Structure 1
Amino acid sequence: MLPRVTTETAETSDEWRRAETGDDWRRPGPTPEQRRLDLFAGLAATALALLSLTLARSTGAFLLGPPPSGVEQLFWTVAVPLPLIWRRRFPVAATLAVSAAFIGSQVRAVPEWQLSAWALFIAIYTLGAWGRDRRLSRRLRIGVIVAMFTWMGIALSINYRTLTAESFDDAVGPVPPVLAAIVTGILVNALYFGFAYFFGETAWVAARREHQVAEQAERLRRSQAEVREHAVVGERVRIARELHDVVAHHVSVMGVQAAACRRVFDKDPAKARDALAAIEETARQAVDELRRMLGVLRARDGDPENARQPAGIDRIAALVDRAGEAGLRATLGVYGDPQSLPESVSQAAFRVVQEAVTNVLKHATGASLLDVRVRYLAQEMEVEVSDDGRGSRSANADGMGLIGMRERVATHGGELEVGPRTGGGWRVRVRFPLPAGSST
């Protein structure tokens, strides 16, 4: 087991290292505009190198030694900067081509070396900034730098034998002239290659960070879109739940009253008039609740004009009274010391009782008794609605009413129990946790 744990740990550490260093990120290739820019820049560098060669030959200062033929000078002068045309599209191949041509021109003592040195600098920088494989680009850059220093050492060892005392007649410093020349060459080349490596690495890190910022912005945009979508869906669900609670209850009561009116219309006109009056009152209450709900939906923060007080637990008595008017023997019992409830909890309790009463009126076959009980306990409030109706209402277990109940109760961290009770009938019981210090 130990070797496996060690292997897994090493793999995990390697993943963390790649995440920290960004070795697993691949920079996208250059755009068409960048490719065109590289083409023009490479051709311009080649033209400047040819101009530099012309000037160097005109001065006759051949610092690297006797130069080769003119055709060969032109070849090496063009071979060093021309691969920069593909520097961002093929950074590895361009760097290898420029490096090989640069060493070749140095070996052949081509008098043009100023523009060639800049071309080598740009190639090493580009490989660091645009190399898709970070490990390969690092190793290749280090390899090129080592090769350049190796060539510099070889050149110094070759030229050392040609140095004479007369070459340093004007030397006045405390450091031996040969040593001073060697140290100067090493320092200059160290700065030269060091800056090429550093700037390339910095450009790549900047591109990776820009990519990460763009990704984070895109994730934030998607997250905001999802939040907006969820908010819209949540608002639609809330509106649908409110409409169901308001319309279903009052329509059910009006349907029961209308049926009663139809049965006694010819036999007992007085009861028929009472039933019609109850229908009228219930319709008025339905319209009032719809207006209140629409006012709440339209109300803005700090605009109490349209936001009316929502129905709360104090209106349960009116629900029970209307159920009694519909022909049920309805009772309401309140147990324990009443406590002040948060507005949302009070409204949720009222809506649960309203939906339970509606289900009794619509689905409880032969129901004659409706018992509503409100219990204030130490840490929770319990509301229970039961009836003595016959038949099963399990077919409606996934109806809109029970779904709305579950959503309201779940929102406040409560518990909902729905099912038949012992001895017949149906019971709906819900418990809402009470916040600390809610006792009056």
Structure 2
Amino acid sequence: MTTTGEDDTRALTGPWWWARWRSAVLDGGLALVSAVECGIEGIPFARDAGIPPAVGVAFGVLAGSMLLLRRKWPIVVVLVSIAIAPAQMGFLLTVGGLYTLAASELPRRIIGSLAGMSLVATLVVTFVRAQQDMTRGEMDVGGWFVPFISITASLGVTAPPVLLGLYVGARRRLMESLRERADSLERELQLLAERAEERAEWARNEERTRIAREMHDVVAHRVSLMVVHAAALQAVARKDPEKAVRNAALVGDMGRQALTELREMLGVLRSGDGGVRGGPSEVPLAAVRVAAAAAASRAVGEESAEAGPCLSELDELIGQSAAAGMVVRLSVEGEARSYARQVEQTAYRVVQEALTNVHKHAAGAKTHVRLAHRVSEIAMQVENEPPSESASASSARLPSGGNGLVGMKERVSALGGVFVSGPTDAGGFRVSAVIPAS
């Protein structure tokens, strides 16, 4: 876990302007050494200036202790070091101030100007001091030595701390940039994880709805026919035993077909493992959920589409309804051709569910099933007439969950089609759907 800027602010536990006590102790120790250095160097300065030594020592201690402010006001420290340069004191103060100045976030022009001023001050002081020593005879060298020693000393005091400070400052800014990027990446990953969790929840809900719709389509029609045949069996059991036997056989066939389709559906659900490998430590939980939901949805959808019904089975479907006592007629317009499996399966399910609704709500009503093959679409319509009073009175009273029309509309809409249902003027009911052929 990276440390954000807010965490860095809370981590400031040092006194005053120091982030940590360790930094405060370090600056205090450097200021103490600088004060001692400047205090010692203040003795010869007082002697040359003709002032009491105690004043020179106090002046040096005060000037050297300014290094304590290097993190807060680096410009002040550098200016003080430049100011006391003629007194030939403050070596540690100069080095520490220039390093802190170069490593700070101040504009480069300010850093360059102050570093140049310090370089010039050191160069002038060194040149004057070397010239005085040569004049007094303390140094017996050529005329080239004074400029050489002046330039070398000024560069030696100024360049190393400035270059080191620039390097440390650049490295610090790079680390802060990397930390900010890491924080941003962490926030993005957290956002992606939340979105992945939302997508996984959406995929789970979609899969539940799709499975519920598929189970309804598989079971409702078969069970409805079974109930209709059972009611007919009860009505003719004593009057026509042979017909009762046939109806019982039909009920048994319908039950076996319903069980077979249920087993196929459950087998598909069990085999949809999603293709995810690796444990929770290898794959993020949200990614596993999304991959599993998507792969399971694809696996169930593809396998159920391959095993699902097609338009060529409409005759058998209508024959089953006719065997249950429904007067149903099928008319086909256009030249029959093959469509995508999902299109054929959806068209079949629409007709199947419409016939199931006729069994439930209008038992015995005459029903017309129309199928039209067009250039770029396939259209289907199931319309029933009003049931007779005697047929309505003898209805098997099948329960309805209210999900049939909703499921049909969802199926058709998922393929970009149009679904319309509603009562007719004659008192019957009509279900119409148009599905794109591609």
| Common fold: TM-score over 0.5 | yes
Q: Does 1:409 align with 2:412?
A: yes
* Distance (Å, rounded) in 2 between the aligned partners of 1:117 and 1:184: 10
- Shift of residue 383, structure 1, vs aligned partner: 2.1
Q: Deviation string for 1:30-72 (max 9, x for gaps)?
A: 1766747832133134324534655677799989x98965566
Matched residue, 1:42: 24
* Distance (Å, rounded) in 1 between the aligned partners of 2:61 and 2:345: 91
Look at both structures and tell me which one has the larger radius of gyration over its CA atoms: 2
Q: Does 1:107 align with 2:105?
A: no
Matched residue, 1:384: 381
- Shift of residue 241, structure 1, vs aligned partner: 0.9
Q: Of the candidates 1, 14, 28, which is equivalent to residue 6 of structure 2?
A: 28
Percentage of identical aligned residues: 28
> The residue matched to 2:239 in structure 1 has which SS?
coil
- Shift of residue 77, structure 1, vs aligned partner: 4.5
Matched residue, 2:204: 232
Matched residue, 1:429: 432
Q: Does 1:260 align with 2:235?
A: no
Aligned pair in 2 of structure 1 residues 55, 193: CA closer, same or farther (>3 Å)? closer
Give the letter for the 1:328 counterpart. Answer: M
Give the letter for the 1:250 counterpart. Answer: R
* Distance (Å, rounded) in 1 between the aligned partners of 2:60 and 2:193: 57
Q: Of the candidates 334, 337, 360, which is equivalent to residue 335 of structure 2?
A: 337
* Distance (Å, rounded) in 2 between the aligned partners of 1:143 and 1:195: 16
- Where do residues 237-248 of structure 1 align in structure 2 (5 Å cutoff)? 237-248=209-220
- Shift of residue 289, structure 1, vs aligned partner: 1.0
Aligned pair in 2 of structure 1 residues 124, 351: CA closer, same or farther (>3 Å)? farther
> The residue matched to 2:344 in structure 1 has which SS?
helix
Q: Deviation string for 1:281-335 (max 9, x for gaps)?
A: 211111111111112222248999x977222333322221121122111122333
Q: Deviation string for 1:115-158 (max 9, x for gaps)?
A: 77446645774x64xxxxxxxxxxx6569637835964995799
Aligned residues: 381
Q: Deviation string for 1:318-355 (max 9, x for gaps)?
A: 22112112211112233322222222222222222221
* Distance (Å, rounded) in 1 between the aligned partners of 2:154 and 2:98: 21
> The residue matched to 1:371 in structure 2 has which SS?
strand
Q: Of the candidates 334, 349, 352, which is equivalent to residue 351 of structure 1?
A: 349
Q: Does 1:95 align with 2:61?
A: no
Q: Does 1:145 align with 2:111?
A: yes
Matched-pair contact (CA < 8 Å) for 2:358–2:365? no
Matched residue, 1:321: 319
* Distance (Å, rounded) in 2 between the aligned partners of 1:103 and 1:205: 31
Q: Which runs of 5+ in 2 are unaligned?
A: 135-140, 276-298, 389-398
Matched-pair contact (CA < 8 Å) for 2:219–2:258? yes
- Shift of residue 407, structure 1, vs aligned partner: 1.8
Matched-pair contact (CA < 8 Å) for 1:384–1:428? yes
Q: Deviation string for 1:230-250 (max 9, x for gaps)?
A: 221121111111122122222
Matched-pair contact (CA < 8 Å) for 1:418–1:429? yes
Matched-pair contact (CA < 8 Å) for 1:124–1:141? no
* Distance (Å, rounded) in 1 between the aligned partners of 2:5 and 2:159: 32
Aligned pair in 2 of structure 1 residues 172, 43: CA closer, same or farther (>3 Å)? same
Aligned pair in 2 of structure 1 residues 311, 336: CA closer, same or farther (>3 Å)? same
Q: Deviation string for 1:13-41 (max 9, x for gaps)?
A: xxxxxxxxxxxxx9334176674783213
Matched-pair contact (CA < 8 Å) for 1:81–1:119? no
Aligned pair in 2 of structure 1 residues 155, 384: CA closer, same or farther (>3 Å)? same
Q: Does 1:269 align with 2:241?
A: yes
* Distance (Å, rounded) in 2 between the aligned partners of 1:166 and 1:77: 26
Q: Which runs of 5+ in 1 are unaligned?
A: 1-25, 84-93, 129-139, 436-440
* Distance (Å, rounded) in 1 between the aligned partners of 2:239 and 2:34: 121
- Shift of residue 181, structure 1, vs aligned partner: 8.5
Matched-pair contact (CA < 8 Å) for 1:368–1:388? yes
Matched residue, 1:283: 255
- Shift of residue 262, structure 1, vs aligned partner: 2.5
* Distance (Å, rounded) in 2 between the aligned partners of 1:69 and 1:298: 93
Aligned pair in 2 of structure 1 residues 191, 40: CA closer, same or farther (>3 Å)? closer
> The residue matched to 1:28 in structure 2 has which SS?
helix
219-228 or 158-167, which moves further after superposition?
A: 158-167
